[in-house]
Amino acid sequence: MSLISRAELNGARRVVVKVGSSSISGENAGKIDSLVDALAQAHARGTEVVLVSSGAIATGMPYLRLDERPTDLATQQAAAAVGQNVLVYRYQDALRQYGIVAGQVLLTAGDFDDPTHRSNARRAMERLLGLRILPIVNENDTVATHEIRFGDNDRLAALVSRLIGADALVLLSDIACLYTRPPSEPGARPIEKVAFDDDLSAYEFGATVVNSVGTGGAATKASAARLAAEGGVAALVTSIDLASDVLAGADVGTWFEANPAPILPQGTGAIGVA
């Protein structure tokens, strides 16, 4: 059942948390530890946590001696193959002190379009959560093609949150909340709450490519939050530095209210749960 307010995150039954490449790779790789601390605190309170983590390609780049994100598909796949292994190891190493075991789940857009694959993915994650395992979800970059990619992991996280019937989706990045226009511009105002039927067309969320290691940005987060909310999952956008506060129910970030009458059609664009 979706949450009504941020404060309810403290006692949520099931939460999907998404973190972007730039927040946990390169000079920010050390933030994995603080993120895991926040997830472990929620786990200890009894919340079932699913982590959707970008960063496989960015993490693999140094091992391939690459200075910037590759543009050709084959090199992206190679970097992802190496980086995913290292990334999951880093998470598991940080989780070890809490006695929490991670489980890797790699998905493609086709898995959400195919009813059998979709059912299998949901069943696997339900079982992992039932065993108190922390699923770490990412796009299967090693086999995905340009034509069948999610586009960004914000969208993947929204689809996962709807697939498993999460109470809330938390999208973590490098900003504390969304703004009515890029925060560097005059007149930008923080957005505290978005009702499920609010018109966002007047807001200027800016470009989607944010740096040399990942894609995303305010526009994709707003779109993903709205996608989750349409399916009955409340969503919150905030900074990775506030992860512990958010999961404890603090009044931070931009809150997207869930649709009280969820839209549940089939397919990748707005996933159903059949």
Nearest-angstrom CA–CA distance, 47 and 24: 23
In percent, the amount of the chain with pLDDT more than 70 equals: 88
- pLDDT average, residue stretch 18-47: 94
Assess whether pLDDT exceeds 70 at residue 151: no
- pLDDT average, residue stretch 116-141: 95
Would you list which residues are annotated within the binding site? Answer: 18, 54, 141, 153, 173-174
Lowest mean pLDDT among 55-64, 67-76, 129-138, 260-269: 260-269
Nearest-angstrom CA–CA distance, 32 and 30: 5
pLDDT bin (cut points 50, 70, 90) of residue 148 is very low
Would you list which residues are annotated within the binding site for ATP? Answer: 18, 173-174
Query: Which residue has better confidence, 58 or 151?
Result: 58
Nearest-angstrom CA–CA distance, 70 and 132: 36
pLDDT per position as a tens digit, 212-231: 344 457 888 999 999 999 99
Average pLDDT of the residues of the chain: 87
Structural domains in the chain plus CATH codes: 6-256 (3.40.1160.10)
C-alpha distance from residue 21 to each of 4, 61, 173 (Å)? 29, 12, 9
pLDDT value, residue 215: 47
Would you list which residues are annotated within the binding site for substrate? Answer: 54, 141, 153
On whether the CB atoms of residues 88 and 136 are closer than 8 A, the answer is: yes
